[in-house]
Structure 1
Amino acid sequence: MKKTEREEYLEAIQSFLAKSLSYSIENREIIRSFSYDFSQKGLYVIKGESGCGKTTLLKLISGLYPLSQGQIFVNNQKKTASQMCGLVAYVSQKNTIFEGTVKENIFFGNSPLLETEREELIKNISMQEGFSGGETQLINLLRLLYSDRPIWLLDEPTSALDENNRKRVREWLNDKKHRKIIIISTHDKTFDEIADAMIEL
């Protein structure tokens, strides 16, 4: 059976290029002519002062915001916003929790893990109603870890976590970066230690 376009991309992204991306709101320029080659698998850390456009850039790459100007190419093919949504897993600063247990929130009933491995993974997260901000953020990050998307975008992924869980997240992403393209916007300087490239806005 012939593979779909998305199945082929999930197997191998040979090139991923953002070219001259720009975005404006009410005549105010937020992102101006941003270009970068993200073709190599690894961890890319986007740095910059608050309000410089880090979150906006991630939303442009993810397809959540329309480009004012510029293009995104994957495997030398120009991609629309809707096509990028099919290739990207995005964790925003606004974490999402659904009705149900922690396990249901993370795995959606599907996971390559055995039941005992699932229990080990979530044993430190409260199972009661009303998750803390850190627990909510951790659930969203764990959900990402079991995404099959080849490109991961994370916006301030450790802002609500304690030091122990920040360390866990860094270890997870450091392990996954050899198989994914991971782009993070963060003020957490400890990511500098595992970054393959740092991008200053």
Structure 2
Amino acid sequence: MAALTNSPSVCWSIDTIVGRTLLSSYVTAACANQVKRDIEESVFQARINSALQGLDYRKILGNLNNEVYVEIGQDHQRSLHQAIGFLHRTKPDDEYKHMVDEYLVSEVFDISSQYAESNSSTGLNECSPPPYSTAREAEPQDPERQSPSRSDIEIWRYTSRLWEEGTSSGQVPAVTDELLRRFPPLYKVTVDFKGLEGEGQAPNKKQAKHIASKDICQKLGIIL
């Protein structure tokens, strides 16, 4: 029996089942954080399915590539399930949680947020937005900080403009990040440039960096 349990094919099968279950639970939790409790079950399940289908499995798997051992010759979705199961089986709890936070949870929260935004115009506009950060809750008058999709589109220009400024001046902005909360994920990113400091908080590092970059641009008098 020990030989059967240690067989690669058996381990891969178990890893796939465990990983699929874990990923589904992460996505379900992320979606549940963004809806009211009285949402219809069928609508909620449809949102979960859409988020699962929208995940960039190849990207997440690529981030984990040096940390996992998976079966060759299968699609990216199954490989990611296998990778999550492999990590859960082989890594210590604290290391597994760190890797999930770093490479998976923010991606899951991003895609579930995007589907929450897109579904708001198709009968789900009653769903409340997720509490991305206490800073945003304290500043409800700032619509950009309450809408991840809008921020990704608009605030990104400030990040691009700031890095152009740094390239032309020969002084590249310095970026530091900190995980404030594991789930729902909340990151704080600080950007330092020419003695100025900008700070942003968001459910993923990219979004937080955009907010911090906009903060510095405004201090420099750059308005886009």
TM-score for the superposition, normalised by structure 1 = 0.27
**TM-score, scaled to structure 2:** 0.25
Richer in helix (by share): 2
Please identify which structure carries the higher strand content: 1
